[in-house]
Structure formats: structure tokens, C-alpha cells
Amino acid sequence: MVKHIPMQAIKKVALVAHDHCKDDLLAWVKANLAALQEHQLFATGGTGARLERDLGLPIERLLSGPLGGDQQLGARIAEGGIDVLVFFWDPLEPQPHDPDVKALLRLAVLYNIPTASNWATADFLLSSPHFARAYERRLPDHGKRIGR
């Protein structure tokens, strides 16, 4: 059985970037400030601090990724509190919290959350007509697969 999860026109957008990608994410947000200001924004610690400081954006800041912020975002995804994930992650630098990163990305896929991992996919996601209007996200019933 497939459930349909309503997403409002105003999306709950999580913004995350590894250290070597923070400048790119900041530049992308700055280039798309008008569109993103219409939505509710969340970010992990360091990324949120830079977005607030450099762009004056209201951000709900969570912990730093290595200190549990990625897990906080994963929990919010599982609880329905995040609609979109923009995560500029660094494919060239091993992260001390790689298991947390993998868990966050797994939950985004499991809960069918639109996810962008770089500038190009973020542009495509933001330019989708679904980004600025209500949308019903399909969520398969994974309970059958895990024996419930």
C-alpha cells in the first residue's frame, strides 16, 4: 500500500554542506535567495551559522553534522519535518561521521525526499514547478518488507 504525504507550498528545506563545499552552497543559496526566502530553512551548525551571518537568512540551526546534526535531520525526515534536502557533500574527503552521512542519505531515499547533492541538481530541484506549490509525495509501505 502506498501512502500519499502532503507537502505544502511552503517547503521545509534542509541545507547541509561539508567543509570544502560550504562556499558553493553559500553561493547557490545567494543566487537563489528570492526563491528560498519563501520557504522554511533548516541547516546543520556550521552551515547554518554561515548562512545566517553572510546572508542574514532566518535558519533553524541544528547541531554540527559530526556532533549529531545529520542524525537530527534524519530524525526530522522520518517524522515528516523535512520536505527537501540540499546536501552539498564532498566526494573527495572522508568524513569522520560518514556513517551518519550515509544514514541521512538513506533516510532521504527511504522517505522519498527530493535530494540535491550538488549545484546542478539543486538548480533542477528548485526550478521544478513542484517546489513552489503543494505536492503529494508517495511513500511506499516499507513495513511489509521488514516483517510488520
| Per-residue pLDDT reduced to its tens digit, 93-140 | 766 667 778 899 999 999 999 999 999 999 999 999 999 999 999 987
Instruction: Tell me the pLDDT band of 62, cut-offs 50, 70 and 90.
Output: very high
- How far apart CA 17 and CA 3 sit, in angstroms, is 31
Three-state SS for 48? helix
Number of domains in the chain: 1
In this predicted structure, what is the pLDDT of residue 95?
Answer: 67
Give this prediction's pTM: 0.92
Report the CATH number at residue 76: 3.40.50.1380
CA distances from 108 to 56, 57, 80 (A): 27, 24, 11
Q: Is the pLDDT of residue 21 over 80?
A: yes
In this predicted structure, what is the pLDDT of residue 118?
Answer: 96
DSSP E strands in the chain: the ranges are 2-7, 12-17, 40-43, 60-61, 84-88, 115-116, 135-140
Q: Is the pLDDT of residue 83 over 90?
A: yes
Instruction: Tell me the pLDDT band of 2, cut-offs 50, 70 and 90.
Output: confident
Domain span at residue 45 reads 30-86+101-118
Instruction: Tell me the pLDDT band of 147, cut-offs 50, 70 and 90.
Output: low
Would 93 be classed as within a structural domain?
A: no
Would 140 be classed as within a structural domain?
A: no
Would 55 be classed as within a structural domain?
A: yes
Query: Which amino acids are annotated catalytic?
Result: 70
In this predicted structure, what is the pLDDT of residue 141?
Answer: 80
Would 49 be classed as within a structural domain?
A: yes
